[in-house]
Structures are given as C-alpha cells and as structure tokens.
A and B are shown apart, each in its own frame.
Chain A
Amino acid sequence: MKTNLRKNSKAIIILVIIAAFLFVAARGMSGRDVLITVLRGFSTGSVTFLVAAGFSLIFGLLDVLNLAQGTLYMIGAYVGWTVYVRPDTFIDVLTPVLLILAGFSLSALWGRLASRIQLAPKARKIISWLLILAGFGLLALVLTRYPIAIWNLNNYSESPITYSYMADQGLRIIPAEVTFEKISPFLALAGLLVSSAISAFGIALLNRDESRSQTINWRKFLVPALLLLGGILAVVFNAQITSWMYAMSTNWLFVIAILIAILSGVGLGALMETTLIRPLYNRPIYQLMLTLGLGTIGLQIVQAVWGRPEFVWPKPEFFTGTGGACPATNLADLLEYNCSTVFLLGGRVRVYDEIFIPIVGIIVLIVVWILLKRSRIGMIIRAGVQDRQMVEALGINVRRVFTLVFALGVGLATFGGALAAPSTGLTPVMGERLLLSALIALAIGGLTSFPGAALGSLLVGLIQQFMIKYGQIGIPLPFTDAVFKPSPPLVPASTVLLMVIVLLILPGGLLGSKE
C-alpha cells in the first residue's frame, strides 16, 4: 500500500512537470495557436492510441510484441481507401476473400478429421506440406484468372493517384466492368473453396496434436456457410451492388470503408494468430522476428498492389462544406452546411482532423474500457493477463480468447489507419512512423496498462504537435536575440527524450505495474 502511494506520487510529480512544461510551452504562443496545437495533439494522440491500445491488449494477454502493428495500420488505410474510392474493385475482391475464408474456417472440422488419421510423424509432415503447397498452388492458379477490376500502376491515368484525385474533385468514374473470360464462374468459385479447404486441411494435419477431441455440431458450419453464401451473393449481384455503392452518399461510403477496414484487421489478426503466432507461443524471439518479418512483407505487398507514391483519401461530404455560413461559428451552422472548418477562439479549426478524430479516439477509449471492465470477456482477459493456466483450469477456452484479442488488437490498428488516412494521406511508410510513436507512448504509459496507453499516446501527440508548431514560430532563447526553430527531426526525438526521462524515474512507465 505504501509503495503503491509512493509510486503514484512519482507519477503525479512527472505529470506535474509535464503540465508545467506544456504551460511554459503554451506561454510562448497566442491562445489561438495553443488551442489548435492542443487539438492537433489530441488528434495525433487518438490515432497513436488506437495502434498502441491494440498493441497493449495483445502484449498484455498473449505476451506477443506485434511489431507488424504499424504495417497493419497502413493496410487499414489502404483497404479503407479502396472501398471508398474504388467500390467496384472492393466488390470484385470480396467474393474470393469470402470463399477463401469459408474454406479456412472449416478448420475445426479438419482438426477432427486430422486427429483420426494415423500416420508416422515424418509421413504426416510431408503429406501436410504437400497438401498446403498444392492448396496454395491451386489458389494462385484460380486467382490469377479471376476477373477483378483494378487500377493499373504502369499507366498514370489509371493509377490510384489519379483515381483519388478524381474522387477528390467529386468526379466519379465508373471503370469498365470485368467479366469471367479466362475461367468459368463455377470453376472459379469451386476452385477457390476447394483450394483453401485443401491448404486448411494441410495446416490442421500439421498441428494435429493441438486439435484433439473438438466436438462437432452444426454451429461449426454456420460461419463457413454464411461466408460461402456472402461470397456467392457478392458475385451474383456484383453489378447491382457496385452501382449502388457508386450512387451512395460519400458519408455512408465512408462508414462502410471504415467498417471494412476494421473487419479486414479483425480477419487478418485472427488469421495471423491461428496460423503463425500460435505455434510460437513459448518462443518470444521467433515471435519478434515473425511479426517484424510480416510487417516488412505487408509493406512490400502494399507497395506492389497500390504503388509507392503518396495519394489522398478524399474526405466525405460531411466534412467538406465551404459554402453558406462556413467557416461555422456555432454548432447549428456546422451541421447545416457540413463545414470543413469552424472558428474557435478566432482560429480556424479543421473539423475532421482536429475535432472528429479526437472524438472517435475518446469513444473507442470508452468502449474498450467498458468491454474490459464490464463484460465477461473483459474479465477473462484481465484474469488471463495474470495467469493463463488458472483461467484454463476453470474450464475457459483461453485459446479462443487469445484469437479474439489478437483480432481485436489488429482491428484497432486498421481502424486507426483508416481514420487517419483522410487527414494524413496515404503513404507506404505511414505505418513505421506511427509504430514508433505507439511504442514510445506505451513505454511512457506502461506497457500493459490500458489507461497508460491512452495517457502515453496523448502525451506523445501533444509533444509532437507543440514541437511542430514551435518549428514554425520559433522559440526565443532567453538572454539572447536568437530564435530557435526545432527542425522536423526533433519532433520524434522529443518524444524519445520524454520517454527516457519517464523511464529513468519510473522504469514501469507512468501507470504500468512494477514488473
């Protein structure tokens, strides 16, 4: 109890120092600048928080440092952008993705079957790998023939940059539809399903020991059946859904894009955890190398599919109004004219970047907090962080909770990417920078503490934005006439400095536990 108090007093001292520092920093600015800088700090902090919170959830329960989190953040942005700017591509891709998932989600059934097959260990290994290779080979064969309307990186007028520019100008070009030419629709669908089922069976056979005695009931078939149905519906009504999405208001399209980005993260997370992370639970170094490697692979794939250059994600209608009483001075005007900016304390504040993003960040904070503190799954997570074996000894399937948490953590990262992209634009390197910020934020706040992730992210966001602002207006150095303008590289450096100070005083971070 006493040490607890002492620890808290240290954290309070640090917070007071930071507050004083921010106060002094704010003294050099006009009230308008302070407001905008603080709002931007909240904005940067919110996005950092989404990635950091996912990282912290995953690390807390699974002890896995998911260094791919930055790449996944970027993937969220690119997936969201595609849904928003090229709905036709999204609908075309939807069918293969759903069918492949359907094939893989039969793994429970495969596990049951695989445990019945008696083979010598060596033969089992060879056969599993042959099946996996055959499955993926067949998948590649089908996928290359599957018709997907996509941009062309080699032709500037059909590149993502052009499409995003056009969409930004309010021009919606509906590209020509592609049709099944190289392969018959039935063959394509069956091929996708069968090939993914074959590789899923191979994987189940390889991990045979882990999947004994799982009971089979109709519920296990519900998810694959729904996925299959969704995939078939998407291909049958392809044209209708596409034209419906093109006709939709950009606000709804934006909501759909964000949801798909989150879902893609959840799916990727579940896939990563069940196939790649699970065999490595007791080998931290391998996990580290795996997630780092996956991050790099993801980056290369994104560069190969979307190209290297930066492009923009046009904001939805709700945040782009300029006519009427814009910039708005009150809430009624803002809502009526959908202003892109508002006047606050005499300064112009961008609604999406500086108001909407922080609000979403706070909402996510509250929702995840409630999930952790009030729900049964949150209770299991909090208990599992401390003692997995005991939770399992109570009859709870911890492994399923692990998959869920990993999926949720990755979903938060892709959510962050899709949320930030309309404000920051898309570039393949956006993830690396953010991963660094998120890691620093976690070190400051405490690696496994959820409120710590929020506090650390906020501090990192504020410090970055104040440094950027002072880079513009300069700090007059005392006793001299010189004005010091922090150069851009000092922005990340300043957060590292804060981290060093905090860790020297409190090795566990501001709100972290002592271990």
Chain B
Amino acid sequence: MSNILEVKNIHSFINQFHILQDVDFVVPKGSITALLGRNGAGKTTTLKSILGLASVREGKVIFEGREVQGMPPFEIAALGIGFVPEHRAIFRDLSVEENLKIAERNKGDLDRKRTFIFDLFPDLKKFLNLRGTELSGGQQQMLAIARALVADNSLLLIDEPSEGLAPVIIEHMIDAIRQLSEQSTVVLVEQNFLVASKLAKYFVIIEEGKSVASGLMKDLEADKAMIHRYLGAA
C-alpha cells in the first residue's frame, strides 16, 4: 500500500459551520506532504477532520486502509497519528517531562524514545523540570513535536511549525522535521512557502474549503503563475 492516508471528498463542520466543502487528496507513505493555501482556506480544519476533531459529515478518511471518519478522536489517534497543533498547545500545568509522558500510549514509550527525541531536540533535555510555558516559543514548538513522537505514530500532522519563530530556529526546525520524516510520514500545514518547499515532496492546495491542486512540490516551484494565483506573492 503506497498511500498511508486517503482523504476522499470530505465535507467537514466545526459547530454548524460548513468549513470543508470537498477536500480530496492522498498522502504517499514515507514522505512529507504540504497543505498549502491562504489564511482561512481550511488547512487546519483538514488536519482536524483527519483526527475526528472536526466532524466529517460526508466523504471518507482512510488511514492505513481503515475508514476512520466518525470514530472518536482518541481512537483515531491511537491508531498511530501524532498531532502537533497550531499554537503548540503545550500543557501549562505540566512540566516538560510530563508533557512528554502524557503522550505515552504504552508504559515505557518515553524511555524507548528518549534518545531519539533528545538527539533531535537536545535543548529539551536541559529543561525537563521546567513548566511547559516557561520555555521560549521555539522550545515550545520542539516540545510539541517531541510530544507527537513519544508514541509510535506512523503519521504526523504538523500545523504551522514555523509560525512566530526566528529564522535561525526555523532552520533548526526544518532539520528536525526532515530527520523525523525518515521514520514517519508527515502532513505539514505551512504558511511559509519557503519552508514548505524545502521540506515537502508533495503538495496539496486548499482554497475556500476545496482542494484545488496537488502534485509534486518541484513542479509547483517551477509554476510561478500557480503559486501567485493560489498563494499570493511568493
């Protein structure tokens, strides 16, 4: 099976708002796919629909050959999907260590992944006993990604990892995501086209709740007109 995730013509609602109106794409296994589009186009909602955090009323979400739409979010996540949300959602009453520990799905997950995580983000090791919110923005982002790595997730959904970070830290983040994509498939939502184009092999463009284009990233980079049309100036 080459596609780890298939999103088939989904229509999604958040409360009573019809946000996604026909989004359709596939995510090939073992690569990074970027969801692109303007602000409010529905990229974040697409990620939430995959996880069941937004209610999918029509269409199908197929993860590893299994229809997951309509299942409760915790069951979908437990199938092996890690989520790094917009604004990181670090738990402020938990220490850095606890923020990682809570993501364990089986006892000892964290101990097994400890070296992998700290090789990726050596900074975190120094702050294990700090509270989650005492970290800087970049460190919080690393923690959010690390949290998604604790359990054995074959798919990672990462929302806006570069948002609000300094360029140096963005470089570091790009390295880290590239490294972890060797182990899991990544779906990336990214406003910063430069970051997206450096990382992703495939792209999907979402416009006003519809998927309007998809393909190989290198084709998109060559097609300035398309970039201009859907993403504004690039």
Q: Which residues of A contact B (CB under 8 A)?
A: 210, 212-213, 376, 379-380, 382-383, 385-387, 389-399
Interface contact A395-B105, CB-CB below 8 Å: yes
Roughly how many angstroms separate A168 CA and B234 CA in the complex, as a whole number? 86
Residue of B nearest to A384 (CB): B91
Apart from the given pairs A210-B72, A386-B91, A395-B78, 11 other A-B contacts in the complex at a CB distance below 8 Å:
A212-B70, A213-B75, A382-B93, A383-B93, A383-B94, A389-B53, A390-B85, A390-B89, A394-B74, A394-B151, A396-B74
Interface contact B91-A383, CB-CB below 8 Å: yes
Interface contact B93-A385, CB-CB below 8 Å: yes
Interface contact B94-A379, CB-CB below 8 Å: yes
B 52-106 contacts with A by CB, 8 A: 53, 70-75, 77-78, 83, 85, 89, 91-94, 98, 101-103, 105
Contacts of B72 in A (CB 8 A): 210, 212-213, 392, 397, 399
Residue of B nearest to A393 (CB): B83
Residue of A nearest to B88 (CB): A390
Contacts of B94 in A (CB 8 A): 379, 382-383
- With contacts A379-B102, A383-B102 taken as known, whether A397 is within 8 angstroms of B74 at the C-beta atoms is yes
Chain B interface bracket (under 10, 10 to 19, 20 to 34, 35 or more) = 20 to 34
Q: Which residues of B contact A (CB under 8 A)?
A: 51, 53, 70-75, 77-78, 83, 85, 89, 91-94, 98, 101-103, 105, 147, 151
- With contacts A386-B91, A398-B74 taken as known, whether A393 is within 8 angstroms of B101 at the C-beta atoms is no
29 A–B contacts from the bound complex (CB under 8 Å): A210-B72, A212-B70, A213-B71, A213-B72, A376-B102, A379-B94, A379-B98, A379-B101, A382-B93, A383-B93, A383-B94, A386-B93, A387-B89, A387-B91, A390-B83, A391-B102, A392-B77, A393-B53, A393-B73, A393-B74, A393-B85, A394-B102, A394-B151, A395-B74, A395-B77, A395-B151, A396-B102, A397-B72, A397-B74
Which listed residue (B53, B85, B91, B151) contacts A382, Cβ 8 A?
B91
Contacts of B103 in A (CB 8 A): 394-395
Contacts of B73 in A (CB 8 A): 389, 392-393
Contacts of A383 in B (CB 8 A): 91, 93-94, 102
Contacts of A393 in B (CB 8 A): 51, 53, 73-74, 77, 83, 85
Contacts of B83 in A (CB 8 A): 390, 393-394
Contacts of B85 in A (CB 8 A): 390, 393
How far, in Å, is B187 (CB) from chain A's closest CB? 14
How far, in Å, is B90 (CB) from chain A's closest CB? 9
Roughly how many angstroms separate A394 CA and B75 CA in the complex, as a whole number? 9
Contacts of A382 in B (CB 8 A): 91, 93-94
Roughly how many angstroms separate A212 CA and B52 CA in the complex, as a whole number? 12
| Residue among A383, A393, A398 having the largest count of chain B Cβ atoms under 10 Å | A393
Contacts of B53 in A (CB 8 A): 389, 392-393
Residue of B nearest to A212 (CB): B70
Roughly how many angstroms separate A376 CA and B92 CA in the complex, as a whole number? 16
How far, in Å, is A121 (CB) from chain B's closest CB? 14
Roughly how many angstroms separate A419 CA and B53 CA in the complex, as a whole number? 43
Contacts of B98 in A (CB 8 A): 379
Roughly how many angstroms separate A130 CA and B73 CA in the complex, as a whole number? 32
Interface contact B74-A392, CB-CB below 8 Å: yes
How far, in Å, is B145 (CB) from chain A's closest CB? 13
Contacts of A399 in B (CB 8 A): 72
How far, in Å, is A431 (CB) from chain B's closest CB? 31
Roughly how many angstroms separate A399 CA and B73 CA in the complex, as a whole number? 11
Roughly how many angstroms separate A431 CA and B97 CA in the complex, as a whole number? 42
Contacts of B77 in A (CB 8 A): 392-395
How far, in Å, is B47 (CB) from chain A's closest CB? 10
Residue of A nearest to B75 (CB): A213
Roughly how many angstroms separate A399 CA and B75 CA in the complex, as a whole number? 12
| Residue among A382, A395, A396, A398 having the largest count of chain B Cβ atoms under 10 Å | A395
Roughly how many angstroms separate A70 CA and B192 CA in the complex, as a whole number? 54
Contacts of A385 in B (CB 8 A): 93
Which listed residue (B75, B92, B101, B147) contacts A386, Cβ 8 A?
B92
Roughly how many angstroms separate A392 CA and B78 CA in the complex, as a whole number? 10
Residue of A nearest to B69 (CB): A212
Contacts of B151 in A (CB 8 A): 394-395
Contacts of B101 in A (CB 8 A): 376, 379
Roughly how many angstroms separate A391 CA and B51 CA in the complex, as a whole number? 12
How far, in Å, is A368 (CB) from chain B's closest CB? 15
Roughly how many angstroms separate A390 CA and B157 CA in the complex, as a whole number? 13
Roughly how many angstroms separate A259 CA and B143 CA in the complex, as a whole number? 43
How far, in Å, is A378 (CB) from chain B's closest CB? 10
How far, in Å, is A379 (CB) from chain B's closest CB? 5
Residue of A nearest to B67 (CB): A213
Closest 5 CB pairs of A and B: A395-B77, A395-B78, A383-B91, A393-B83, A390-B89
Contacts of A394 in B (CB 8 A): 74, 77, 83, 102-103, 147, 151
Contacts of A389 in B (CB 8 A): 53, 73, 89
Roughly how many angstroms separate A436 CA and B75 CA in the complex, as a whole number? 40
Roughly how many angstroms separate A389 CA and B70 CA in the complex, as a whole number? 16
Residue of A nearest to B150 (CB): A394
Roughly how many angstroms separate A32 CA and B147 CA in the complex, as a whole number? 57
Contacts of A380 in B (CB 8 A): 102
Residue of A nearest to B84 (CB): A393
How far, in Å, is B212 (CB) from chain A's closest CB? 27
Roughly how many angstroms separate A212 CA and B94 CA in the complex, as a whole number? 32
Roughly how many angstroms separate A102 CA and B156 CA in the complex, as a whole number? 41
| Residue among A391, A392, A394 having the largest count of chain B Cβ atoms under 10 Å | A394
Contacts of A396 in B (CB 8 A): 74, 102
Roughly how many angstroms separate A139 CA and B72 CA in the complex, as a whole number? 33
Contacts of A391 in B (CB 8 A): 102
Residue of A nearest to B51 (CB): A393
Roughly how many angstroms separate A434 CA and B16 CA in the complex, as a whole number? 41
Contacts of A397 in B (CB 8 A): 72, 74
Roughly how many angstroms separate A213 CA and B101 CA in the complex, as a whole number? 27
How far, in Å, is A426 (CB) from chain B's closest CB? 39
Roughly how many angstroms separate A376 CA and B94 CA in the complex, as a whole number? 11
How far, in Å, is A59 (CB) from chain B's closest CB? 15
Roughly how many angstroms separate A175 CA and B1 CA in the complex, as a whole number? 73
